[in-house]
């Protein structure tokens, strides 16, 4: 069984490109792979209409590990696809004023209620990966600007911790710094939410694990 959820504000837009069904999105030929491993990949989708250009990112999951199936069941009380986990976690963070990417489409292909394949599509973040920011701009920043960024990262993680949220793997490349940051107040977003857990007593216990 295939299931599709499209944000109401984007449904008509995607229909202009004949993107309606699970396969329309999952196998969209105009997308390009920007990262992958054995269980998931991330694809960039660029859509242009009447001179307007939109960029989206689609994370695709397939053949989930048993531990991920079990983890979704424990966290949500039901079999939950990896894409839906990410969708619900993004909505939870946004609701609690923690910046992350905005989900616009969710697709699930289920067999007997268990995920076979799934995907989530999100809007492009108007921000820079913190790892790239450090590589490109760190040496040109003043010491006070560097200190502001470091303190802001710590405060951002503290806000996440105060929500009793745990990211077992939290790396610098999961933080995105917004354009206005570096010269004044620093604002961040966080990505890669499919392993995020809520209501965890062991908040950030595994941050440093590889």
User: Could you tell me the pLDDT band of residue 108, with boundaries at 50, 70 and 90?
Assistant: very high
Q: pLDDT value at position 199?
A: 79
What number is the average pLDDT over the span 81-98?
93
Q: Is the pLDDT of residue 72 over 90?
A: no
At residue 121, does pLDDT exceed 80?
yes
> Which one has a higher pLDDT value, 63 or 37?
37
Q: What is the per-residue pLDDT for 182? A: 47
pLDDT of residue 205: 45
Q: How confident is the model at residue 113 (pLDDT cuts 50, 70, 90)?
A: confident
pLDDT tens, position by position, 159-199: 999 999 988 888 999 999 986 644 556 899 999 998 888 87
pLDDT recorded at residue 63: 78
Q: Please give the pLDDT value at position 197.
A: 85
Q: pLDDT tens digits for 73-89?
A: 666 666 678 899 999 99
pLDDT at 12 over 90: yes
User: How would DSSP label each residue in the chain?
Assistant: -EEEEE-TTTHHHHHTTT--SHHHHHT-TT-EEEEE-SSEEEEEEEEEETTEEEEEEEEEEES--HHHHHHHHHHHSS---HHHHHHHHHHHHHHTT---PPEEEEEEEEETTEEEEEEEEEEPPSEEEHHHHHHHHGGGS-HHHHHHHHHHHHHHHHHHHHTTEE-SS--GGGEEEETTTTSSS--EEE---TT-EES-SSTTTTTT--
> Per-residue pLDDT averaged across 19-48, rounded?
92
Residue 111: what pLDDT?
Answer: 84
Q: Is the per-residue pLDDT at 98 higher than 90?
A: yes
Instruction: Please state the domain extents for the chain.
Output: 2-123, 127-198
Residue 71: predicted pLDDT: 67
Question: What pLDDT is stored for residue 130 in this prediction?
Answer: 94
* Class at the top of the CATH hierarchy for domain 2-123: alpha beta
**For 97-125, what is the mean pLDDT?**
92
């Amino acid at each position: 069984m295939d299931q599709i959820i499209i944000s109401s504000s984007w449904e008509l837009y995607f229909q202009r490109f004949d993107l309606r069904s699970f396969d329309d999105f999952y196998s969209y030929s105009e997308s390009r792979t920007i990262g992958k491993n054995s269980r998931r990949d991330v694809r960039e989708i660029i859509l242009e209409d009447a001179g307007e250009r939109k960029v989206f990112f689609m994370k695709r999951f397939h053949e989930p590990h048993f531990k991920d199936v079990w983890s979704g069941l424990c966290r949500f009380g039901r079999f939950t696809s990896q894409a839906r986990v990410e969708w619900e976690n993004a909505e939870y963070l946004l609701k609690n004023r923690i910046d992350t990417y905005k989900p616009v489409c969710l697709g699930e292909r289920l067999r007997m209620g268990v995920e076979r394949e799934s995907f989530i599509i999100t809007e492009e973040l108007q921000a820079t990966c913190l790892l790239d920011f450090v590589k490109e701009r760190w040496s040109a920043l003043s010491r006070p600007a560097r200190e502001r960024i470091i303190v802001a990262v710590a405060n951002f993680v503290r806000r996440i911790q105060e929500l009793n949220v745990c990211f077992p793997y939290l790396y610098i490349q999961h933080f995105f710094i917004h354009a206005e940051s570096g010269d004044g107040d620093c604002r961040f977003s966080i990505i890669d939410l499919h392993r995020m857990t809520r209501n965890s007593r062991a908040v950030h216990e595994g941050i440093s694990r590889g």
